Structure 1
Amino acid sequence: MTELFIGLMSGTSLDGVDGVLADFSTTPLTVRAHASAPLEPALKAELLALNQPGNNELHRAALAANALMRVYADVVNQLLTASAMAPEHIQAIGAHGQTVRHQPQRHDATGYTLQLANPALLAELSGIDVVADFRSRDVAAGGQGAPLVPAFHQAAFGTPGQAMAVLNMGGMANLTVLGPEPTDEVLGFDCGPGNAMMDAWCQRHRGHAFDAGGAWAAGGQVLPDLLQAMLAAPFFALPPPKSTGRDLFSPDWLDQQLRGFANAAPVDVQATLTELTASTCASSVKDYGFDSQQLVVCGGGAFNAHLMARLQTLLPGVAIQPSDAHGLPAQQVEAAAFAWLARKTVRREALQLQSITGTRGARVLGAIYPA
């Protein structure tokens, strides 16, 4: 059995698919190759539309899953080519899929989380075993199903004798709090929106998928009344464990918050949305970071210079750095996490996520689709 695993991630930001080929024969892991592929506009639009009820959903979701797996397969081929590896050299692929609904503990007390994927098709296209559907078992065991990456953050960034926090800012933002000892309980939860609201507003008013470097937001003024209206969302007052997604923080939610602010300049709304992400993430660190003096940032938000500057202003005395400074580039962390999770599944190793998702006990996550 090799220690080579591929991890694939397409997050709520819908900006594309990231993949890594990770070698777990070394400690820490070694990323042998990194690749990414954009989502075609039609597929991105369909995946976004499937976050809401609509006509012929089952048919559309199945076809969207197939199309997404073809993008995943393209990223796998890029990784194999870049590393000069053949499919038989890879133990398994960890494929997250695309979250389109996330409603744990709702409706019937169990609820559900749905990541669009067709792992059988990916196994057929790649010739490699595929591990998928990581979140459902956690939900079945009474958990939130998210976030799952804090367990990986401990493995990748935990430093004996040093407490730290890890902030992942993708479409949504989640925080991991690591104690100074490897035996310390890991805390993790979703803070709220990361890039999703900022990206949606930028797309609507600028025609760009995201606000590069936060330059547009930096030219605006925060609207205090709008910020307070958004911060009044009940989610922000909930204690961990908690998770969220586009089911709550959607363009419709944003439009509801903007009632009464019809005359607001779009650039000021962008500045306010950036401040919403910065302030909710900073509050999470202050409330639950247990005096962490280091904050490691990963995900797309790490590339938003204005957002990073706001975090630093709101967290004086905390050393804030992208995860690159800790050995793993910010864009690679989530994909590496799902390579790590796939390895756990293959080895039948249960994850202790009780303090993160609220699950009833340790569980082996994921389902294996043989090549």
Structure 2
Amino acid sequence: MANKVRYIGLMSGTSADGIDLALVEFDTEQSQQANGAKLIASYYQAYDNATHQKITRLYNASDNEIDRAGSLNIKLAQLFAHAIEQFLQQEKLSPTDITAIGCHGQTIRHRPTISQFASTPFTLQIGCLQTLALLTGIRVVGDFRTKDIALGGQGAPLVPAFHQAIFGSTENDVFIVNIGGIANITFLPKNSPESTIGFDTGPGNALMDYWFAQHQAGRFDMQGKWADSGNICQDLLRPMLDEPYFKQPAPKSTGREYFNAQWLAKFIGKNAIKPADVQATLTALTAETIAQQINKLSTKSDVYLCGGGVENNVLVSLLNHKLSKHQVMNTQSKNINSDSLEAMAFAWLAFAFDKNIFGNIPAVTGASKPAVLGISVNP
């Protein structure tokens, strides 16, 4: 263990379903490479319905949002700390066994470009780092996106640097597709790490989850069963695919501020479409917008899927069909739990902060230069 250090990565995504934790061991002799990372264990703590609703209500401007965000900032840190305490008990570890926590926090607003909503680009994640450090007794590294924004980037996606080291291939082009609330891809051209790119393709589970919650009991369409009961409505799908964001070149990133209930309503309008058919169409929208970008970038590749969307059988089936010339796999084929990959990336970003390793890729985020990302908070 002389050359081994352990970090916990903490991720709470735009689906706002819960907290993903990853315990990652790094070999300090391979400090310049993420492939020195080894996933030791993972842990998941679901949010209750009240917490889920408090988070999602902050995705768009509404009354009293500063007070609600300030309170939730502390509450989430408390929930993060409790999850870490349970995780350490599960692994029979103490806080002194952990070098640091890499905390992504919870994004509640992402405005990466100048718009009618933001005269200056910004991104905002909550989950108070100081509260988390004090409650756990472990140093916390977080606020990873702000410096990239300050350098003219979009602050997202940040995981491609990590993907590059653990998935890069000399034999095939590789894509990593993370299907969370928003879907994003990393493209790793074979033998060309300097050409790595990554961006948000558009909605992942966000619109499907919203529509399901409006018409069914629960937060999401388990295994895509409700979507499977409907039919894809091409008259709805075609105009949605004409959305300018899908044609916008990278670097680009988006969020639930863009792809939300209001966005969906303008397409549905007063049309009498069966709710299950809308769900099937939204599932097809996610698959189509992911597949279009992959097919545009490569004619044959290895495609690794991760994130909550891999549990949606209908979505995965559509992706397999639309990516028939590619080999589509779950990240489990690399012995990486699909739900743990992003949490692993934020453990690595904390490690990268400590080792003075650049955590962003300017070609991905649009930043003016690579940078060491994050800030460190002692307990």
Check 1:28–1:211 CA distance in 2 against 1; reply closer, same or farther (3 A cut).
farther
Distance across 2 between alignment mates of 1:341 and 1:109: 29
Instruction: Give secondary structure in 2 for the equivalent of 1:202.
Output: helix
Displacement of 1:225 in angstroms is: 1.0
Q: Which residue of 1 aligns with 2:9?
A: 7
Residue identity matched to 2:135: L
Partner of 2:160: 150
Question: How far is the alpha carbon of 1:61 from its aligned partner?
Answer: 0.5
Q: Which residue of 1 aligns with 2:138?
A: 128
Aligned to 1:223: 233
Contact (CA 8 Å) 1:170, 1:300: kept in 2 or not?
yes
Deviations 1:339-366 (A, max 9, x none): 0111111222123511111110111111
In the superposition, relative to structure 1, how do residues 355 and 109 fare at CA in structure 2: closer, same or farther (>3 Å)? farther
Mapped partners of 1:182, 1:241: distance in 2: 18
Q: How does 1:51-90 map to 2 (within 5 A)?
A: 51-90=59-98
C-alpha separation in 2, matches of 1:49 and 1:80: 31
CA distance in 1, matches of 2:192, 2:88: 34
Give the Cα separation in 2 of the matches to 1:130 and 1:29. Answer: 19
Give how far 1:294 is off.
Answer: 1.0
Q: Give the secondary structure class of the aligned counterpart of 1:34.
A: strand
Contact 1:2 1:91 in 2 (8 A): no
Structure 1 match to 2:51: 43
CA contact (8 A) 1:93 1:339 kept: yes
Q: Does the CA-based 8 Å contact 2:148-2:360 persist in structure 1?
A: no
- Measured after TM superposition, the shift of residue 212 of structure 1 is 0.9
Aligned partner of 2:332 among 317, 324, 327:
324
Once the two structures are superposed, residues 23-46 of structure 1 have per-residue CA deviations (whole angstroms, 9 ceiling, x without a partner) of 112855222221111112112111
| Cα deviation 1:233-289 (Å, max 9, x = unaligned) | 11111011100001100112112221032x11100000000000000000010112x
Aligned mate of 2:24, from 8, 22, 46 = 22
TM-superposition CA deviations, 1:271-310 (whole Å, max 9, x none): 000000000000010112x334210000011111110110
How far apart, CA to CA, are the structure 2 residues paired with 1:106 and 1:232? 22
Q: Secondary structure at the match of 2:194?
A: coil
1:366 paired to 2:366: no
> Which of the residues 221, 227, 246 maps onto 1:236?
246
Moved over 3 A (4+): 107-110
Q: Is 2:280 the partner of 1:278?
A: no
2:303 counterpart (290, 295, 302): 295
Aligned to 1:268: 277
CA contact (8 A) 1:110 1:139 kept: no
Q: 1:102 and 2:110 equivalent?
A: yes
State how far apart, in whole Å, the 2-side matches of 1:314 and 1:94 are: 36
The aligned residue for residue 210 of structure 2 is 200
Q: TM-score, normalised by structure 2?
A: 0.94
Alignment partner of 1:113: what SS? strand
TM-score by length of 1: 0.96
Shift of 1:160: 2.9
Rate the CA distance shift 1:352–1:72 in 2: closer, same or farther, 3 A: closer
- State the Cα distance separating 1:82 from its structure 2 match: 2.1
Question: How many residues matched?
Answer: 369
Structure 2 unpaired stretches of 5+: none
- Partner of 2:339, secondary structure, is helix
8 Å CA contact 2:185, 2:201 repeated in 1? yes
Shift of 1:182: 6.1
Query: How far apart are the structure 2 equivalents of 1:64 and 1:245?
Result: 19
The code of the aligned residue for 2:294 comes to V
Q: CA RMSD in A?
A: 1.5
Equivalent residues of 1:3, 1:91 under 8 A apart: yes
Cα distance in 1, alignment partners of residues 62 and 360 from structure 2: 37
Q: In the aligned structure 1, how far is the partner of 2:295 from the partner of 2:56?
A: 33
**CA distance in structure 2 between the aligned counterparts of 1:183 and 1:309, rounded to whole angstroms:** 30
Query: Structure 1's 174 and 325: CA in aligned 2 closer, same or farther, altered over 3 A?
Result: same
SS for the counterpart of 1:21 is: strand
CA contact 2:158–2:360 (8 Å) conserved in 1: no
Residue 56 of structure 1: how far off its partner (Å): 2.2
SS of equivalent residue, structure 2 residue 183: strand
Please report how far the alpha carbon of residue 230 of structure 1 lies from its aligned counterpart in structure 2 after TM superposition.
Answer: 1.2
Contact 1:110–1:140 (Cα < 8 Å) also in 2 = no
